Structures are given as C-alpha cells and as structure tokens.
A and B are shown apart, each in its own frame.
Chain A
Amino acid sequence: MRYLYYPGCSLKGTGRAYEESLLSVFEELRFPVEELGDWNCCGATAYMSVDEMKAFALAARNLALAEQAVQREPVSLIAPCNACYLVLAKVQRSMAQYPHIGRAIADALVEAGLSYHGDVHVRHPLDVMINDIGLDIIAKHISRPLTGLKVACYYGCQVVRPFATFDDQYIPTSMDQLMECVGATPVDWPLKTRCCGSSLTGTIQEAGLRLSYIILKEARDRGADAVATCCPLCQFNLECYQRRMRRAFDDDIDIPVAYFPQFMGKAMGLEDHRLGLQRLFVPLTSAPALV
C-alpha cells in the first residue's frame, strides 16, 4: 500500500498546525507519506452549491492524479480535512453510481491528459492511525503520556456522515482510542458528531456561533480540559471565536481546542514548534495536565 497525502487548502492556511503535527507524527512513526503533486482544491461545500459537474471534475482531478501512482501497489489517499475527505469519497462513489456522470467526467479527464478508474482508496488519518499503523505501534512511541488530561473528542459531521467506513456513525470511538493510547482520558459526551456550523459559524453568527458554543459548553460541563478535533474548519470554529462566545453567551468559556496529532505529538515528546502548538489561540498549556 502506498500512501499519498492530500492537504487541501485549509491545511496550508488556517489549518497549518494540522499538517505540521500530522506529518511530524507520521515521521516519528516512520510512516511514509508523500504529498500529492500539484493537487487542486477539492471544492468543499461551495463548489457543489454552484455547479455540480464542475464540482465533480474538480475533485476527480485529484483522484486521477493519485491514480497515476498506482503501479504495483494500491494507493491510499489520506485527506485530513473532513470536508476534503467527504468530497473525494463522495465524488468517487457518485461517479460509479451515476454512470452518465462518471463517463462524462472520465472523458473530460482524458481530454485533460489524465485517466480515471476509481481505484484509489480515500482515507482519513484517524482510519490510518487505527487500522494501518495500529495502537500497539503508537503506544511504543509514547514517552510522555498525557496522564490526567481529560479530553473531549470532537469528530464533526463529515467524517462519519453519510459514509461511516471506519467508525460508528453515531458514537465513533477511533479518536477516543487514540487519546486513550497516548495516556489521556477521553470524556464520554453526547455531542461528538454534532455540526459545528461549518461556514455558517463565521458568516451567519446569529445562528452559527451558537452551534459551536454549545459543543464547547457541553465538553467543558462534562469535565473536559481540552477538545481534540480532526477537521480544520471544526477546529477554527471551536477555537477562534471563543472571545465572541464569551460576550454573546455571557459565559467565561476558555478551553483549548487542538488537532488530535498535536496531542499525539506531545505525548511522543516532539517539540512544540514541530506540532504547530504556537499557532493555537488558546494555548494547550491552559489545560492543567499539560502545564
């Protein structure tokens, strides 16, 4: 199995720390990934809102590029951002399910000098950590277990909906298992997959801000010291608007929200700057166990 890595636009921008920490953890685990060459934006939710066929083509180009790497081994394309992960997986399925669309896009790809057979495996890093690397291997690299850290694992929507390929659709546990493996205590809480608001949180704050706020509030009320995420937009929504939430909801909510590989890296003893910890708005050290 060959592993390619599809960053997506967010991981080069607001989600930079996700890329930094994930790649550092992969490196520490001696897990080889290569960035997909010359990838383009997956289109996220915006493209499908405007033009359906172009949205398919946009995502499919990345799949076709990844396919070029399929020589003797099957290829896994790791997409850390939940939205990229879903878009790529969904487009792959839709092209198979709607043959007329599949053919039209495949033909267009051929015209652009690419070919498409739909045989790349679209994967999420949580899936790869649990199923390809394995908790046993990860455990061997833990030198500074995060003992005493109560973390609420927030999965968000699109990693389990509508396709739940590697975890339970309603009560996922892959991130919880990872956190447990690195010594932290995952908190049992009911909002693991409740929508953070996506692009509405920042734009339609009258509605969207509350969606993210209630997630943080419940996590805190259930005893969590920190929230772990696996999607750059979720992380941004939960972390970067806490000042506004404090004002809007008259609550002193102030809780660190970090990417799950940042927690993993910390437990592996990796340096802060390799994990992008300095990019967090709410420092990880505000959680008592991580001081």
Chain B
Amino acid sequence: MSDLQISRRVKYQEELDLDFGKSVAAKPGGEDLHRCIQCGTCSSTCPMSIYMDHTPRKIIAMTRAGFKDEVLASNTIWLCSSCYACTVDCPKQIKLTDIMYALKQLAIGKKVYPRRFPIPVLANEFYRSVIRTGRSNEGRTVARVWMKTRPWRMISEAALGLRLMRRGRMSMKTERMTGGRGQLQKLLHSVEEGQVDH
C-alpha cells in the first residue's frame, strides 16, 4: 500500500428520495418498516449477511431515510435467499423478506440491476418461461441465464447437466400443462389490466 485514496462522503437531504420509505411501507408486508429500532437481529441471523454490501439492518435504515439509489444498487436484495430467518426473529415483527421482495420488484421494474448478475436475470427468465408455458423448465431456464450472464459457465455446467440428464432428472423438453394454459394467460392478463387501476 503505497498511497491512500481520499474521498468525500456527505449526504444532503436533496439527494435523498424522502418518500421512498413511505412508498415501500405502503406495499404489502412493509407495514411495520418504521418501527425498526436497528437492533441488528436480522443481520445477526441472516446466513447471507456476511456477503452483502449492506446488511439487512442497514437496508432498512437506508430505505427509511430515503437512500433509494444506494438501496436499489446494493447486492443485498439479490443475495437474499428468502429464508425468512430475519422475519421470524425480528422483535418488531417487521416482514423483512417481504420488504426485500418489494425492493426486488422496484429494481427490476426500474431496470436498475447489473445486467450480468445472474439472480435478477434468473428471476426474469423464470418469469417469462412460466408466462409462456405455465410451468418452468429448470434446465432450459438456467442455460439461458448462463448465456446472458456468464457464458463460460455453460461449459462447466454442461457436465452437471449431463449427469442430471443421465439420471432422468433433467430434460430440455418442458412438461406442459394439458389444457389450462389459455386460462392461466387470461388470468394473468386480467391481473395486469386490473393493475392499471391500482
């Protein structure tokens, strides 16, 4: 270490989205967001918190305070595995996992996610595949994810894929719904229409 980097960090109120906290709290599951006492139990129990750039506790503090850009740009929301340990242990019964989902939806909706990061891409691919066929094909979906994010993984994953195929645990053909696919698509469509009113 021959030289040191000096940078200036201060946050002005104008730079924050002061309504961000309220808007997240308004989504289902976000009701008790404002009751957080920043005790850190969530981060303490979260198995992934050691990999997150901002622990779950910090994400709640930042969301409440309006640090919208930092929150949506963090890797935290993508590293959450929805294990619900935080939700169950929180002494204020804040539904953190639901808040993480809400943040994921916001990030995907605003297309604020690193294009080559597998997790949001996986979510999108899964989503599209189910809309089309009604059921998901793990092999096909994962292959598409690798193609879009880390193409070199296709080679290392191919071995795993073959092993699975040999044991009949994967096929590139998707199991299809017998007749209800149209009904499903109609259903999803009406929900979308309804959402305009929401």
Contact = CB atoms under 8 A, between A and B. Distances in A.
B63 interface: no
B184 A203 contact: no
Given A61-B184, A240-B163, 19 more contacts: A9-B136, A12-B135, A12-B175, A15-B169, A45-B123, A47-B123, A47-B130, A50-B105, A105-B191, A108-B190, A109-B187, A157-B83, A158-B82, A158-B84, A162-B88, A162-B95, A195-B81, A200-B81, A240-B164
Interface stretch (A22-30, A52-60, A263-271): A52-60
Interface stretch (A36-44, A135-143, A248-256): A36-44
Say which size band chain A's interface belongs to.
35 or more
A186 B84 CA distance: 25
Interface string B111-148: 00000001110111011001000111111001001000
Report the 10 A-B pairs with minimum CB-CB distance, sorted nearest first: A195-B83, A46-B126, A161-B84, A38-B180, A157-B83, A112-B187, A49-B104, A203-B118, A198-B81, A49-B123
A28 to B, nearest CB: 22
Contacts of B181: 40
A13 B170 contact: yes
A57 B183 CA distance: 12
Interface of B: 27-28, 47-48, 51, 79, 81-85, 87-88, 95, 97, 101-102, 104-105, 108, 118-120, 122-124, 126-127, 130, 134-139, 142, 145, 160, 163-164, 167-171, 175, 177-181, 183-184, 186-188, 190-192, 194-195, 198
A90 B84 CA distance: 12
A14 B169 contact: yes
Given A50-B108, A52-B101, A98-B28, A111 B82 contact: no
A40 B168 contact: no
B134 A40 contact: yes
A38 B82 CA distance: 27
B118 A49 contact: no
A58 B139 CA distance: 21
Nearest to A278: B167
Contacts of B95: 162
Contacts, number: 185
B105 A199 contact: no
B118 A58 contact: no
A40 B185 CA distance: 11
A89 interface: no
B186 to A, nearest CB: 5
Interface in A71-118: 94, 97-98, 101, 104-105, 107-109, 111-114
Nearest to B186: A112
A234 B129 CA distance: 22
Contacts of A289: none
Contacts of B186: 111-112
Nearest to A112: B187
Contacts of A280: 167
Contacts of A43: 130
A166 interface: no
A20 B104 CA distance: 35
